[in-house]
Chain A
Amino acid sequence: MFENLSLLQLQQYWWMIISLLGGLFVFMLFVQGGQTLLNALSANETEKTMMVNSLGRKWELGFTTLVLFGGALFAAFPLFYSTSFGGAYWVWMAILFCFIIQAVSYEYRIKPNNFFGQKTYEIFLYINGNIGVFLLGVAISTFFSGSEFFIDERNFSYWQNNLRGLEALLNPLNYLLGFALVFLSKILGALYFINNIDYQDIQHRAINSIKFNMIAFLMFFLGFLAWVLTKDGFAINETGSIYIQPFKYLFNFLNMPIVLAMFLAGVAMVITAVFMTIRFNKSSCIKTGGMGAILAVTALLLNVGLNNTAYYPSTFDLQSSLTIMNSSGSHYTLRVMGYVSLMVPFVLGYIVYAWHQMDKTKITKEEIEAPDAHNY
């Protein structure tokens, strides 16, 4: 079936997969958001342990999605993989360090003789949830604001700023998406707790936390939208040259009504989920909110990659900017990977099945305090 697709179609297909992975990853950031709420939503150790265990059964999926995101970019858009990871060295390294410390924290937190003490592992989780997510938002924001790099005729890349990616922090506009992502993940984390833990006090505090986080999220998110939709974008003309086009991202939405519809539906679902939770005490809104986040983020990434847009622009040398056309794998590799991608629904299927099996019964105080409990 993939034989019949042209190179451009395969590139678009793969950009869609990457965008979907990005959406799924942001949904899974509910784990990170939840990690930042551990102290705020718990009144004692047992309550905190309930929350850690609730997240502890899910954190690896998000982690794995991040790893897959790296692998899929390497396979489908290797020039992005080499240019951005090698170029924006410090941003990616900082993000990776934030995730390395997450990976041990659940397992080691309350194990006896754990060397650093429980507090340290909780701080690790807190750093992962706040700084890790914030930096990811900043890194994604450079898809819109651009970076300084040059690519030579061998397609070797040369980063032009000695801060190696940290210069993105000098542009305050990049903070908008960074903070928006942090607060969105906190909202999703709270929605998840409400659904997954059968314990009134935690649910009650979680609902309260959403109120503040929603206001903060909307502020930064609307700020980000206002910036992106009014800013000049990086467009590609018929000959493959990159040029600056005013209101590019706004036009992308208007030219791709399905993407716009996805985006609006996604945002509406997040708002509805929050509203239903606060107003009607609904406990299962993580599904609506999560789907909303997936849709909105996927649409945003589709916007920046499709419709003749350079998704990773270079402000140093416009023509070095990366597009899905000039940065992709070969026709053959994209085709092979196309077949591999057919496994994704199967993988999602067993994840949902296992998830469902595990979450049929909610986490309770009794379970955590049971003598044979395997606790994080």
Chain B
Amino acid sequence: MEETLVDWSRAQFALTAIYHFLFVPLTLGLGFIVAFMETIYVKTGDERWKQITKFWMTLFAINFAIGVATGIIMEFEFGTNWANYSWFVGDIFGAPLAIEGILAFFMESTFFAVMFFGWNKVSKGFHLLSTWLVAIGSNLSALWILVANGWMQYPVGMVFNPDTARNEMSNFWDVILSPVAVSKFLHTIGSGYVIASLFVVGISSWLILKNKDIWMAKKSMIIGATFGFITSLFLIFSGDESAHQVALTQPVKLAAMEGLYEGKNEAGIVAIGMLNPNKTLQNNENTYLFELEIPYILSFLGYHDINAYVPGLKDLVWGNSKQNIMSTEEKIQKGKLAVKAFKEYKNAKHADNREKANEAKMVLDENMAYFGYGYLKKPEDVVPPVALTFYSFHLMVILGIWFMILFALVLFIVKKREISDYKLILKSALWSIPLGYIAAEAGWIVAEVGRQPWAVQDLMPVGVAVTNISSTNVMITFWLFAVLFTALLIAEIKIMTKQIKLGFEGGH
């Protein structure tokens, strides 16, 4: 497969996914926040809570629309740009996508209409239920797509069928209850809750700074900061579990996240550091230009044992017999055996030679776990871009901790003091809104760039997964998406800021 095609296809997928994920997190979290607010309105009957609910609901809708617009392409892009992938694993991967459509999308879209237009048409109770169902529906849709993503990171519950040349599902429960999928789901919805809380707290701060609708802004702030504080703790715990899963299933990604070239026991984590750009797998230069390390943490994070050995990139590429780590070279050899056996099986079947087919099948089964390595050219190919993974990971973690501190501060001040006196806190809260998005995208970069070159871990590299198409086509669609999505994003931000300026009393 030509390199430029793979690059453009990856670029397009990254572009569309990054855009889509600008809108998803807010939908995930704000849906619940709005539902809390409406519940208070229904319980108290206080019209001001209805106004609060409607204000945030309007912002929810503006965000939701562009989330839908950028989402439809994701459903089809596996086919349009990753056709070989779609066949190779479609038997497993397609199911969660279809279930997502049946169980989640319809719930969202049906009750979305009731939530917006039903105020005077349906009973209060049915309206409230609809608001909750929109929140639940959007979180359910996240569940299924993240099950699918988790499966790509850690494929389980399937067997390779050489007759159809694809992986076939053998256990549905293994797929959806895979620990990688579960921790990925929890961590991702957690990030959505935190971003939505930052959004609510930040905008409420701005309104307070502008001395606008103070009572309602404060009430919103309390809800946002409470939800944000609880969910940011949850986010940190689920992040810890995610890192543990990465250590168990994708050790190369973990090594890249920490820039760990040489493996070690009692490995520490770099709190802040700068990578040495001259460092390669081959040389012995220092990994960092400077670093501030917290001892033991990486061993503990990865393996829940402060003495555990964390393999470095060199161990994983060149092998380490002492630690019982197989070299990539050996995996490539096994992979090539598997690919060759698969071809022999096909030929034998074609020639109706059963004996030979059985022989080939045995070799294939034995080496199937390394199938994807058979397509790699050299061992170093298994190493993802280290700097991008490293910095994204650290940025995400630092920001995550900052958000927790911010929510705690805001919550304390708004409850115990007069928040409008704390201008610096209010401004920090406002400026933390974009930081939330940066943290979430950084998290996805860790997850997706960090697992390169794999489309499906160990089974299929991106170079094989891509559609057979000339790169010019993909280049054109890349730019079309870039222009269209950017234009729509500008429109969205302009509309959103206008609605925020109108405030709680403004038109919805």
**Do A and B make up one complex?**
yes
Task: Out of A66, A76, A162, A354, name the residue touching B110 (CB < 8 Å).
Answer: A354
Whether B469 pairs with A96 at a CB distance below 8 angstroms is: no
Cα distance, A157 to B508, chains bound together (Å)? 50
- Most chain B CB within a 10 A radius of its CB, from A61, A74, A333: A74
When chains A and B are docked, how far (Å) is the Cα of A116 from the Cα of B486?
13
Shortest Cβ gap from B396 to chain A (Å)? 29
B454 → chain A, closest Cβ, in Å? 18
Whether the Cβ atoms of B468 and A96 lie closer than 8 Å is no
Whether A103 touches B68, Cβ cut-off 8 Å, given contacts A86-B467, A97-B480, A153-B165, is yes
Judging by beta carbons under 8 Å apart, are B90 and A74 in contact?
yes
A98, B508: Cα distance in complex, Å: 27
State which of A70, A103, A112 has its C-beta within 8 Å of the C-beta of B498: A112
Interface residues on B, range: 35 or more
Residues A310-341 near B (CB distance < 8 A): 329-330, 332-333, 336-337, 340-341
Are B79's CB and A103's CB within 8 A?
Answer: no
A347 sits at the interface (CB 8 A): yes
**CA distance in complex: A374, B54 (Å):** 10
Is A170 located at the chain interface by the 8 A CB criterion? no
Q: Are B488's CB and A89's CB within 8 A?
A: no
Q: For A83, what are the chain B residues with a Cβ–Cβ distance below 8 Å?
A: 83
Let me know if A357 is at the binding interface, CB within 8 A.
yes
Q: Which of A61, A85, A96 has the most CB of B within 10 A?
A: A85
Q: Is A227 an interface residue (CB 8 A)?
A: no
Which of B86, B95, B101 sits near A64, CB closer than 8 Å?
A: B101
B109 at the interface (CB under 8 A from A): yes
Residue contact A86 to B101, C-beta cutoff 8 Å: no
Complex interface residues of chain B between 448 and 495 (CB less than 8 A to chain A): 467-470, 473, 477, 480, 484, 487-488, 490-492, 494-495
A333 and B90 CA atoms in complex are apart in Å by: 10
Cα of A76 to Cα of B73 in the assembled complex, Å: 19
Q: Is the Cβ of B473 less than 8 Å from the Cβ of A89?
A: yes
- Cβ of B405 within 8 Å of any chain A Cβ, yes or no, is no
Distance of B137 from chain A, by nearest CB (Å): 11
Closest to A342 in B: B102
Q: Give the contact stretch, choosing among B168-176, B213-221, B384-392, B422-430.
A: B168-176
Establish whether residues A92 and B61, one from each chain, have CB atoms under 8 Å apart when the complex forms. Answer: no
Min CB distance, A95 to chain B, in Å?
A: 9
Q: Is there contact, CB below 8 Å, between B468 and A158?
A: yes
A355 to B121, CA, bound (A): 11
The reply on B346 being an interface residue by CB < 8 A is yes
A57 beta carbon closer than 8 Å to chain B: yes
One of A104, A162, A341 near B65 (C-beta < 8 A):
A104
A217 within 8 Å of B (CB atoms): no
| CB within 8 Å of A: which B52-78 residues | 54, 58, 61-62, 64-66, 68-73, 75-76, 78
User: Which residues of A are found within 8 Å of B71, using beta-carbon distances?
Assistant: 67
Among B111-119, B198-206, B269-277, B279-287, the one that faces the other chain is B111-119
Contact with A along B249-267 (1 / 0, CB 8 A): 0000000000000000000
B91 near A96 with CB under 8 A, answer no
User: What are the residues of chain A within 8 A of B102 when measuring CB–CB?
Assistant: 68, 71-72, 340-341, 343-344, 347
Q: Are A360 and B498 in contact (CB under 8 A)?
A: no
Residues from chain B with Cβ under 8 Å of A60 in the complex? 68, 108-110, 112-113
**Contact residue among A57, A81, A86, A347 (Cβ-Cβ distance under 8 Å from B106):** A347
Report if B324 contacts A (CB, 8 A): no
Contact between chains at A332 and B168 (CB < 8 Å)? yes
State A70–B93 Cα separation when bound (angstroms). 13
Asked if residues A112 and B495 are in contact (CB atoms below 8 Å), the reply is: yes
CA–CA, A340 and B70, complex, Å: 26
CB distance from A2 to the nearest CB of B (A): 12
Is B473 touching A71 in the complex (CB atoms < 8 A)?
A: no
Residue in B69, B81, B84, B169 whose CB lies within 8 Å of A101: B69
Task: Check A108 for interface membership: any CB of B closer than 8 A.
Answer: yes
- Of B78, B110, B468, B488, which is within 8 A of A61 by CB? B110
Q: Find out whether the CB atom of B75 lies under 8 angstroms from the CB atom of A164.
A: no
B94 interface residue (CB < 8 Å to A): yes
Of B62, B85, B468, the residue contacting A111 (CB under 8 A) is B62
Q: When the two chains form their complex, are residues A74 and B78 in contact, meaning their CB atoms are under 8 A apart?
A: yes
State A57–B350 Cα separation when bound (angstroms). Answer: 55
Q: Is B161 an interface residue (CB 8 A)?
A: yes
With known contacts A74-B93, A81-B86, A103–B495 Cβ distance under 8 A: no
Cβ–Cβ contact B100 & A93, under 8 A:
no
Q: Which residues A203-249 have CB closer than 8 A to chain B?
A: none
Q: In the complex, given contacts A106-B65, A156-B87, what are 17 additional A-B residue pairs having Cβ atoms less than 8 angstroms apart?
A: A58-B113, A60-B112, A63-B72, A74-B79, A74-B93, A82-B79, A85-B83, A96-B72, A100-B73, A113-B494, A330-B164, A332-B170, A336-B169, A343-B103, A357-B126, A360-B121, A374-B119
Measured CB to CB, the residues of A under 8 A from B are 53, 56-58, 60-61, 63-64, 66-68, 70-76, 78-79, 81-87, 89-90, 92-93, 96-97, 99-104, 106-108, 111-116, 153-159, 162, 164, 329-330, 332-333, 336-337, 340-341, 343-344, 347, 350-351, 354-355, 357-358, 360-361, 367, 372, 374
Q: Can you list 28 A-B pairs, Cβ within 8 angstroms, ordered by A?
A: A67-B75, A67-B101, A68-B102, A68-B106, A70-B97, A71-B102, A73-B94, A74-B79, A74-B86, A74-B97, A75-B97, A76-B94, A76-B98, A78-B87, A78-B90, A79-B90, A86-B469, A87-B83, A96-B76, A100-B69, A104-B66, A115-B487, A154-B165, A157-B83, A329-B94, A358-B113, A358-B114, A358-B121
**What 6 A-B pairs are tightest by C-beta distance, nearest first?**
A86-B83, A78-B90, A85-B79, A68-B101, A74-B94, A103-B69
B contact residues vs A (CB 8 Å cutoff): 54, 58, 61-62, 64-66, 68-73, 75-76, 78-87, 90-95, 97-103, 105-114, 116-122, 126, 130, 161, 164-166, 168-170, 172, 346, 350, 467-470, 473, 477, 480, 484, 487-488, 490-492, 494-495, 497-499, 502, 508
